[in-house]
Amino acid sequence: MNEIISTKSLSKNYTGIKAVDTLDLGISEGEIFGFLGHNGAGKTTTISMLTTLLPPTSGSGMVAGFDIVKDPLNVRRRIGYLPENVQLYESMTGYENLKFFAHLSELKEPDLAIEQVVSFLDISSYIKKRVGQLSKGMRQRIGIAQAIIHEPKVLFLDEPSSGLDPMGMKQLRDILLKLNQEKGMTIFMNTHLLSEVTAVCHSIAVLNAGKLIYQNSLEETLKRFKDNSSLEQIYFSIETDHSEAAHAVSH
């Protein structure tokens, strides 16, 4: 299958820190991809570069057929992004927020696009309430509506489960599966939550101190680590293998 996201030696240095270090990633079209790693591993920095919000220090990346450095506008037209803290205007209703973003996206038929996304995400019961009055889960669904209103090919989400209760997490999972199955959307998700990964992802990668230490399909991962009973144990095995290998090299 075609790779809809790919990076070659993608790197980002902050003063004194290699936040992302020569990253080579490949994600097939139509996949739900889970990007795992400890706090500070470099996941948000990677998403920021792929969504063209942050220029790489070196290396390159392609998203939906366009170069993230040379052609950021064409990348932006084809992607949606839900940051960890959903950015919405609190004093406006969900509907007004969507209308505003529909105009920013220069949609030809903004009202129709809003109607369709509201129906797809089943958010009509609270779309006319002010965002400041909504629960975290409701705001997040408005955030997803905003991120997908222009029908992007790829949806990026940064820690989407953070702060959600079990019902909110289930609703999020159902939305991601529906977007993937019914709209064929490729989904790139930064996450800490291994239960979420097992429930929705087709493939995973693990980042450790800016370096990619593992990438494989979820199916192969579960086969390869078949003695480990949970993905959590697998994750720790990958991290342990990596640090033992690094230790062996340095001696």
DSSP label of 110: H
CA distances from 219 to 33, 114, 236 (A): 13, 37, 17
HSE at residue 169, side-chain half, CA atoms within 13 A, is: 15
Stretch that binds ligand ATP, among 40-48, 55-63, 118-126, 229-237 (CB under 6 A): 40-48
Question: Which residue in the set 5, 25, 33, 43 belongs to the binding site for ligand ATP (CB under 6 A)?
Answer: 43
Min dist. Cβ of residue 55 to ligand ATP (A): 12
CA–CA distance, 92 with 95 (Å, rounded to integer):
8
Between 43 and 150, CB nearer to ligand ATP: 43
Question: Which residue in the set 23, 27, 34, 44 belongs to the binding site for ligand ATP (CB under 6 A)?
Answer: 44
Please give the residues from 9 up to 28 whose contact with ligand ATP meets the rule CB under 6 A. Answer: 14, 17, 19
DSSP conformation letters of 122-137? T-TTTTTSBGGGS-HH
Using rule CB under 6 A, residue 45 touches ligand ATP:
yes
Residues 6 or more apart whose CB falls under 8 angstroms from that of 175 comprise 121, 141, 144
HSE at residue 76, side-chain half, CA atoms within 13 A, is: 12
Question: Which residue in the set 34, 42, 59, 94 belongs to the binding site for ligand ATP (CB under 6 A)?
Answer: 42
> Binding pattern to ligand ATP, positions 99-118, x when CB under 6 A?
--------------------
Question: Which residue in the set 5, 27, 41, 50 belongs to the binding site for ligand ATP (CB under 6 A)?
Answer: 41
Min dist. Cβ of residue 43 to ligand ATP (A): 4
Stretch that binds ligand ATP, among 35-43, 69-77, 113-121, 127-135 (CB under 6 A): 35-43
CA–CA distance, 203 with 50 (Å, rounded to integer):
18
Counting DSSP H helices and E strands in the chain, the numbers are 9, 10
Provide the binding-site residues for ligand ATP, judged by CB under 6 A.
14, 17, 19, 37, 39-45
